[in-house]
Amino acid sequence: MLACLAFAAVGCVGSDSDAEPSTQPAEEKPRLDSTRLQELELTYEVPAQVRQACAEARRLAVVRVICPPLVPDVPLTRIEGLWGSMVIDAEPRFYMLSFNNGGLPSDNKRHWITGGGKASVVEKWVLTDFQNEVRGDPELVRTTNVRGRPVSIYRFPPFPAGGPNGGHWAAFVQVGDEIVFASPHGRRYLGGAVEIALALAEELD
C-alpha cells in the first residue's frame, strides 16, 4: 500500500578535549547561475507544498528523506491524489515525492518525481517492473560523470508501464549505500533532472 499519495489512473569520532573547535565555514554547495536556471526551467525557491510532501515522507520512511533544494520551476496542482509522498508500507527504505501526477500539460504542470533510499531497494522497487501491473523495465541509456559524480540516465517505458515513472527520463546518483534520483516526464527535461539529482546528492554527503 502506498501511504499519503494515491496513484491516479493517468498517464524522495572522538577528539582531544583541549582541541580548538573548527572555525572554518562549511563548504558552500555549488549553485547554478540565473541563466542556467532559466535554460533548465529550475528554481532554488522551493514551494511550501514540496516541503510538506517531504515532511510526510519523513514520518513514514526509515531512511533519510532529502527534500530537493532545486526543483522544476512549474506550477503545482493541489488536487488530492495528484501530489505528495509515496512510501510503501512493505518497504519503507525508499521514498518518492511526486508532483503534478498525470501531467496537466496545458497549465505547464508537468509531472516530476524525486526520491531516494537504500541503493539495493531503489534498484529493486524503482528500476525493475516487478511491482507494476503493466510490465516493462526502465532502460539504462548511459552513465556519465558530472562534476566528479557518476550519473546514471534511465528511460522508463511509456505509461501505463513504468509505474509512476512511466514516460519519464531520470537521473540516478549513488552516494555510499544510498541512491537519490530525479525523474521528470519527457526527455526534454533530462538536463534539469541531472542537476536536481546532483543537488540531492550534495545534501546526502
Q: What's residue 88's pLDDT?
A: 94
Summarize pLDDT for 14-51 with one digit per residue, the tens.
333 333 444 444 567 789 999 999 999 999 999 999 99
Tell whether the model's pLDDT for residue 6 goes beyond 70: no
59 exposed, middle or buried (CB, 10 Å; 0-12, 13-18, 19+)?
A: exposed
Tell me the average pLDDT across 141-164: 93
Q: What's residue 151's pLDDT?
A: 98
Summarize pLDDT for 52-89 with one digit per residue, the tens.
999 999 999 999 999 999 999 999 999 999 999 999 99
In whole angstroms, give the CA distance from residue 71 to residue 84: 14
Buried b (16+ CB within 10 A) or exposed e, 135-166: ebebeeeeeeeeeebebbbbbbbebebbbbbb
Quote the pTM value. Answer: 0.85
Residue-range domain boundaries for the chain = 32-204
Kindly report the average pLDDT of the chain as a whole number: 87
